[in-house]
Chain A
Amino acid sequence: DGGITQSPKYLFRKEGQNVTLSCEQNLNHDAMYWYRQDPGQGLRLIYYSQIVNDFQKGDIAEGYSVSREKKESFPLTVTSAQKNPTAFYLCASRPILAGVYNEQFFGPGTRLTVL
């Protein structure tokens, strides 16, 4: 899990409520990512950020929002607009160094269940 912390490990929310998932890294990595994983499916990219105060939509950004106010933090908010929010959410980070193949590290994940 490297130096990436995701909290909490399990999260339960009622339908219609917004919920924010935490992701913190102490690796001094430039880029951070949020993925969603559903049973039998690969990792689908929700949002990513390569620099503070800037982020881009991934493949499934609808119903999610993020912020990147600090280099070490990249919280994800699952809004009530997300139709099927129950899933395993993974945060990742990596350095961005020109000319180098930079390994991407993953956090331990947060399992969100919407009741």
Chain B
Amino acid sequence: QQQVKQSPQSLIVQKGGISIINCAYENTAFDYFPWYQQFPGKGPALLIAIRPDVSEKKEGRFTISFNKSAKQFSLHIMDSQPGDSATYFCAVRRGTDKLIFGTGTRLQVFP
């Protein structure tokens, strides 16, 4: 049973455009929602994370939007750059339990 569903599987965006990646979860007990960025041949790195008591968190060009009632959260990359081309994973966690990852979105930003 897939506890977190991520979409789209791949995304192509023009330089300067907005990239949007979505994740949906089932368990309302989850209380930590991170996004990871992974470049080819490298390990994932934490990009930004949100707790369920806020609806939005912004760090530079990256924003998480969180909709608790819909059990969805999304990553927005404003002014997308070729250097943002990577695979992005959402994840969920309850307390000190293990992270559960989405299947990933491959983002390609073309100049």
Interface residues of A (CB under 8 A from B): 1, 4, 33, 40-43, 45, 48, 58, 90, 92, 96, 98, 101-109, 111
B68 interfacial contact with A, CB 8 Å: no
Q: Which B36-74 residues have a C-beta within 8 angstroms of A?
A: 36, 41-46, 49, 51
B28 to chain A, nearest CB (A): 17
- A103 contact set on B, CB distance < 8 A: 34, 46, 49
Least CB distance from A97 to B in Å reads 9
Q: How large is the interface on B (under 10, 10 to 19, 20 to 34, 35 or more residues)?
A: 20 to 34
Is the C-beta of B9 less than 8 angstroms from some C-beta in chain A?
yes
**How far, in Å, is A68 (CB) from chain B's closest CB?**
15
Q: Are B42 and A109 in contact (CB under 8 A)?
A: yes
Contacts of B51 in A (CB 8 A): 101
Assess whether A108 is in contact with B43, with CB atoms less than 8 Å apart. Answer: yes
CA A35 to CA B9, docked complex, whole Å: 20
- Report yes or no: B41 in contact with A109, Cβ–Cβ below 8 A: yes
